[in-house]
Amino acid sequence: MSQDFKKIVIENSDSIVQMWMSEINSLKQDNYTANISDELFESTNREFVNVIFTSIKNQGSVKVVEDFSEKIINLGWPLSYITDGLQVFRRVSVDYILGQSVKVDSAHISDVMKSVDVWVEPLIRQLVNEYSGSWEHIVSLQRVALQELSAPLIPVMDRITVMPLIGTIDTERAKLIMENLLEGVIKHNSEVVLIDITGVPVVDTMVAHHIIQAAEAVRLIGSTCILVGIRPEIAQTIVNLGIDLGKFPTKSSLRKGFTRALEITNRKVIDLEDNEESIEKMIESLRGE
């Protein structure tokens, strides 16, 4: 019985596709896909209906379903495009089969609906799973990308490293800061690390505590940690909280911190022009002799 219905649908795919297309098009106006070009919408619909037919014909052809849901995600179309499309297909198929039937009673209607559901439901499940699975994949990739961004370490020059922190610090990120800091100090052989908190919106006790611990750990492995980029309002809240940062060096700006780092590593920035001038003076004084 079910096989017969399936045969009707497959053999009359042209008419069913036509009915399906016109219903889908009517959905376009008052819906999500309103600002999509007609050509793209049309071609995607054709692909969609092909996917539906392919997977009804040879049950469980995973590959086409996978490819199609990935395409919909890449286009940025909502999940409802997929679910609406399949609902319409269900309705159109049931209508078509009933239209072809000689005798239509409630038992027959229920038979038709049931058997159509048997082919459409697994497809809904499969497409929805693929779609949400791809999303989860994207989210997890972005999570990794964010993690990589969350505590970057820049070896600006020999023996001096900078860690610029931007955005909210939660416990997970605080742990990463500590790990990256220690790993980086050893890897780059840094004598001084500057932690720049210019971009951190709130420094509460948790953040302060983690920074203090990180600085202490850096000290234990023989390097110096300088906290820079302390905005005036942050300085005041830290004082209000009663947190003592007296034990380790702080500077208001990255620039000042960097100068200090140069001092610690026994270096300084020399202005080239001044240098040339003094050389000229030296040469002149030599001539005078």
Partner 1 sequence: MTPQSCVTIQKEWDIVGARQLGRDIAKKMGFGTVDQARIATAISELARNIYLYTENGQICFEVVENMNRKGLVILSTDNGPGIDDIGRVMEDGYSTSGGLGAGLPGVKRLMDEFDVQSEVGVGTKIKAIKWAR
Residues that bind partner 1 (CB under 8 A): 168, 170-171, 201-206, 208-209, 212, 232-234, 236-237, 240-243
Task: Say how far apart CA 186 and CA 180 lie, in whole Å.
Answer: 10
Q: Closer to partner 1 at the Cβ: 9 or 234?
A: 234
Contact criterion met (CB below 8 Å) for 238 and 203: yes
- Report in angstroms how near the CB of residue 172 gets to partner 1 at its nearest: 8
118 binds, among ligand ATP, partner 1, none (CB under 5 to 8 A by kind): none
2 binds ligand ATP, rule: CB under 6 A: no
208 binds, among partner 1, ligand ATP, none (CB under 5 to 8 A by kind): partner 1
H-helix or E-strand spanning residue 251: strand 250-251
- Report in angstroms how near the CB of residue 248 gets to ligand ATP at its nearest: 18
82 binds, among partner 1, ligand ATP, none (CB under 5 to 8 A by kind): none
Task: Say how far apart CA 55 and CA 124 lie, in whole Å.
Answer: 11
Task: Say how far apart CA 47 and CA 57 lie, in whole Å.
Answer: 15
237 binds, among partner 1, ligand ATP, none (CB under 5 to 8 A by kind): partner 1
Q: Closer to ligand ATP at the Cβ: 210 or 231?
A: 210
With b meaning 16 or more CB within 10 Å and e meaning fewer, what string describes 150-186? bbebebeeebbbbbbbeeebeeebbebbbebbbebbe
Q: Closer to partner 1 at the Cβ: 94 or 208?
A: 208
Number of residues that bind ligand ATP (CB under 6 A): 3
Residues 196-215 that bind ligand ATP (CB under 6 A): 205-206, 209
Task: Say how far apart CA 49 and CA 55 lie, in whole Å.
Answer: 10
- Report in angstroms how near the CB of residue 220 gets to partner 1 at its nearest: 18
- Report in angstroms how near the CB of residue 137 gets to partner 1 at its nearest: 22
Q: Closer to partner 1 at the Cβ: 170 or 276?
A: 170
Task: Say how far apart CA 247 and CA 1 lie, in whole Å.
Answer: 84
SS3 assignment, position 159: coil
Task: Say how far apart CA 217 and CA 206 lie, in whole Å.
Answer: 17
User: End-to-end distance of the chain based on CA atoms, in angstroms?
Assistant: 117
Which residues form the interface with ligand ATP (CB under 6 A)?
Answer: 205-206, 209
